[in-house]
A and B are shown apart, each in its own frame.
Chain A
């Protein structure tokens, strides 16, 4: 058997078709661009993307160009979930029930300005997929802090001598608390898991929320070739655990070996100013959150009634 013949027998775990085209406007090493690439592979072409203000308003390219390969409706900062609701309703009343309507927003558009519309949409049970690509600050406007910026990080509005001293808003738990059918986290460092979760979301009716960590070389301060490595370290240090909550039941991915948070933090300029004591603080918080998460998994997997 020749090389080409052998290739035919390889079963790819990630769909080969590229729906996002090259030539888009993302920075080198952009985690959000890679996230979109994987998401579209899982979603397919029967998808509409609703994108509010953020990096992705730019990444797709200026009029009249678009890199996306599926319809993209740009919208106001706080309206991803509500515009997606309207698009879904418009399709449904016309009998088009098989189109994935996806709200694709950054952490600012999700955890800050868009949280009201998002909470409303999921409470109403809208049949949409909401994906937050979380680069942990307002990157498109030049790295200002958001409620999703982690404790300890410096941004252009939380300089190193007054770094962000409150915790990252836990949007995943906020969504899970809405009792929606499916909530999950995903990482570009674990593409098979990422794609499986989006495929799962496609099959579920009702609101789905997926939170993706999207490392940003410019805003976080690391060389663009380290994006995937940093995303992986976020998972392996339990800074960003991979888990899902399906119908209230938690399922948590346990990394084979736990790494100290320092390994994740030290690669990024945004954490450079942190003292040993502060890093210890972060480690403690991460450990507590991880334990809580495992408890939730244990609790929700037990027969309650």
Chain B
């Protein structure tokens, strides 16, 4: 079935077809439509789940944690301030090894109040132990939620699917919605080995001294490493069933490119269009669209970037006092392999904060800049002076 759906509704349809069992959510613009639609689906009986109208995002995540610990498939959605409020419990969900899945609609942090897109809200949750996927269109949003449940449940870690405020959340696009039976074939019910069970009482998360805690942390890192393999495998499997495959990142004209752009989210769609045009004009430009930020695809980036002459990261986010967050990560992935080499020259661009439009001409400007200037770690695109 093909439907014209906004990103928010694509999320809700995907959650429904994933047969989520407990949904807890608190309203925040621009995420609200996700949970409105889910609450209607539950009310009409279309979705057999508990829908909990919670009093804050912090509690929404707490409900998901409790539900997931009983072996139920738990889901929530939030954005920006809401995600920041959840921060403590993002750690809790990951450290308790609970495969909660959520959608986060990227929105700039206040003040000043802004409801428009920016990635800083989710990137600031980098070290919480959550898988993070940045989507660039509504079909991908839909496909990602379903795959994320499978990946997360296999590695016992939570994951967030991320979509841009308004550019995806409120923009209508054609989305292919598969049959429930096909999704069921792909995504079996969640049935964890360890869960809260009165017939087998255990204490979960009790005080753990240094003699064990350290190993618990190591296991989370191992699970993240395993997730890299699962993401690729499950992405292929998804492709076989549904016709669209996914990986840790997407490559666009990277094979013979001298100049490679790296970006994530809907901004990558604009960049793709620009690259396509530049290719037509004979420029050897390519694009890496980062999907997963955690686990970070360092190996793939090394393979792709090692032979490029110029690499430019476009960050719709910033770590104040340093630079674009993805730029730092890309640079660190390349450090050992590029030491002592002249190439690639690495450029860090900041663009589109607070939902400022990033247009094809901005991408062209970025490429021109790289060809005509020495590398800089932080270059503001289109800043008003």
Residues of A that sit less than 8 Å from B by CB: 45-48, 50, 57-58, 60-66, 68-76, 78-79, 81-94, 99, 116-117, 119-120, 123-124
Q: Is the pair A86, B89 in contact by a Cβ cutoff of 8 Å?
A: no
**Cβ distance B15 to chain A, nearest Cβ, rounded Å:** 14
Q: Is the pair B59, A117 in contact by a Cβ cutoff of 8 Å?
A: yes
Binary A-proximity of B51-78 (CB < 8 A = 1, otherwise 0): 0111110111011111111111010000
- Asked whether any CB of chain A lies closer than 8 Å to the CB of B385, the reply is no
Q: Is the pair A120, B54 in contact by a Cβ cutoff of 8 Å?
A: yes
Binary A-proximity of B192-223 (CB < 8 A = 1, otherwise 0): 00001110111111111100100000000000
- Asked whether any CB of chain A lies closer than 8 Å to the CB of B22, the reply is yes
Q: Is the pair B198, A94 in contact by a Cβ cutoff of 8 Å?
A: no
Q: Is the pair A85, B72 in contact by a Cβ cutoff of 8 Å?
A: no
A99 contacts which chain B residues (CB < 8 A)?
198
Cβ-neighbour of B49 out of A58, A66, A71, A93 (below 8 A)? A93
A50 contacts which chain B residues (CB < 8 A)?
66
Q: Is the pair A75, B55 in contact by a Cβ cutoff of 8 Å?
A: no
Q: Is the pair A86, B22 in contact by a Cβ cutoff of 8 Å?
A: yes
Q: Is the pair B92, A63 in contact by a Cβ cutoff of 8 Å?
A: no
Q: Is the pair A72, B203 in contact by a Cβ cutoff of 8 Å?
A: yes
**Cβ distance B120 to chain A, nearest Cβ, rounded Å:** 24
B56 contacts which chain A residues (CB < 8 A)?
116-117, 120
A68-B203, A85-B52 known; A94 vs B59 contact (CB < 8 Å): no
Q: Is the pair B22, A93 in contact by a Cβ cutoff of 8 Å?
A: yes
- Asked whether any CB of chain A lies closer than 8 Å to the CB of B24, the reply is yes
- Asked whether any CB of chain A lies closer than 8 Å to the CB of B50, the reply is yes
6 new A-B contacts, CB < 8 A, other than A68-B201, A87-B66, A89-B50, are: A72-B204, A73-B196, A82-B63, A85-B63, A89-B24, A94-B70
B202 contacts which chain A residues (CB < 8 A)?
66, 71-72
Cβ-neighbour of A89 out of B22, B198, B201 (below 8 A)? B22
Q: Is the pair A93, B65 in contact by a Cβ cutoff of 8 Å?
A: no
B33 contacts which chain A residues (CB < 8 A)?
none
Q: Give complex CA distance A51, B84 in Å.
A: 24
Q: Is the pair B70, A91 in contact by a Cβ cutoff of 8 Å?
A: yes
- Most A CB atoms within 10 A — which of B54, B63, B200? B63
A70-B198, A86-B67 known; A60 vs B206 contact (CB < 8 Å): yes
Q: Is the pair B54, A87 in contact by a Cβ cutoff of 8 Å?
A: no
Please list the 10 inter-chain residue pairs (A to B) with the smallest Cβ-Cβ separation, ordered nearest first.
Answer: A86-B66, A90-B70, A120-B55, A82-B62, A66-B203, A86-B63, A90-B72, A82-B59, A74-B205, A90-B67
Binary A-proximity of B340-370 (CB < 8 A = 1, otherwise 0): 0000000000000000000000000000000
Q: Is the pair A90, B22 in contact by a Cβ cutoff of 8 Å?
A: yes
Q: Give complex CA distance A65, B92 in Å.
A: 20
Q: Is the pair A87, B70 in contact by a Cβ cutoff of 8 Å?
A: yes
B212 contacts which chain A residues (CB < 8 A)?
63-64
Q: Give complex CA distance A110, B83 in Å.
A: 24
A61 contacts which chain B residues (CB < 8 A)?
203, 206-207
Q: Give complex CA distance A87, B56 in Å.
A: 17
Q: Give complex CA distance A81, B55 in Å.
A: 11
A92 contacts which chain B residues (CB < 8 A)?
50
Cβ-neighbour of A48 out of B21, B54, B198 (below 8 A)? B198
Q: Give complex CA distance A92, B60 in Å.
A: 17
A89 contacts which chain B residues (CB < 8 A)?
22, 24, 50, 52, 63, 66-67, 72
Q: Give complex CA distance A50, B205 in Å.
A: 11
- Asked whether any CB of chain A lies closer than 8 Å to the CB of B48, the reply is yes
> What are 15 inter-chain pairs, A to B, with CB distance below 8 A?
A45-B198, A66-B203, A70-B201, A71-B197, A71-B198, A71-B202, A73-B66, A74-B204, A76-B62, A85-B24, A87-B67, A89-B66, A90-B70, A94-B72, A119-B55
A73-B204, A90-B21, A93-B22 known; A83 vs B62 contact (CB < 8 Å): yes
- Most B CB atoms within 10 A — which of A57, A62, A81? A62
Q: Is the pair B65, A86 in contact by a Cβ cutoff of 8 Å?
A: yes
B50 contacts which chain A residues (CB < 8 A)?
89, 92-93
Q: Is the pair A71, B63 in contact by a Cβ cutoff of 8 Å?
A: no
Q: Is the pair A83, B203 in contact by a Cβ cutoff of 8 Å?
A: no
Q: Is the pair A57, B196 in contact by a Cβ cutoff of 8 Å?
A: no
A119-B55, A120-B59 known; A75 vs B205 contact (CB < 8 Å): yes
- Asked whether any CB of chain A lies closer than 8 Å to the CB of B88, the reply is yes
**Cβ distance B204 to chain A, nearest Cβ, rounded Å:** 5
B207 contacts which chain A residues (CB < 8 A)?
57-58, 61-63
> In chain B, what residue has the closest Cβ to A84?
B66
B68 contacts which chain A residues (CB < 8 A)?
86, 90
Q: Is the pair A63, B69 in contact by a Cβ cutoff of 8 Å?
A: no
A57 contacts which chain B residues (CB < 8 A)?
206-207
Q: Is the pair B206, A66 in contact by a Cβ cutoff of 8 Å?
A: yes
> In chain B, what residue has the closest Cβ to A69?
B201
A45 contacts which chain B residues (CB < 8 A)?
198, 201
A76 contacts which chain B residues (CB < 8 A)?
62, 88-89, 92
Q: Is the pair B206, A82 in contact by a Cβ cutoff of 8 Å?
A: no
A90 contacts which chain B residues (CB < 8 A)?
21-22, 66-72, 74, 196
Cβ-neighbour of B201 out of A62, A63, A66, A87 (below 8 A)? A66
**Cβ distance B203 to chain A, nearest Cβ, rounded Å:** 4
A120 contacts which chain B residues (CB < 8 A)?
54-56, 59
Q: Give complex CA distance A60, B50 in Å.
A: 31
Q: Is the pair B55, A71 in contact by a Cβ cutoff of 8 Å?
A: no
**Cβ distance A126 to chain B, nearest Cβ, rounded Å:** 8
Q: Give complex CA distance A47, B212 in Å.
A: 28
Q: Is the pair A63, B70 in contact by a Cβ cutoff of 8 Å?
A: no
Q: Is the pair A62, B198 in contact by a Cβ cutoff of 8 Å?
A: no
> In chain A, what residue has the closest Cβ to B206?
A63
**Cβ distance A65 to chain B, nearest Cβ, rounded Å:** 8
Q: Give complex CA distance A142, B108 in Å.
A: 40
Q: Give complex CA distance A76, B88 in Å.
A: 8
**Cβ distance A106 to chain B, nearest Cβ, rounded Å:** 16
Q: Give complex CA distance A60, B62 in Å.
A: 22
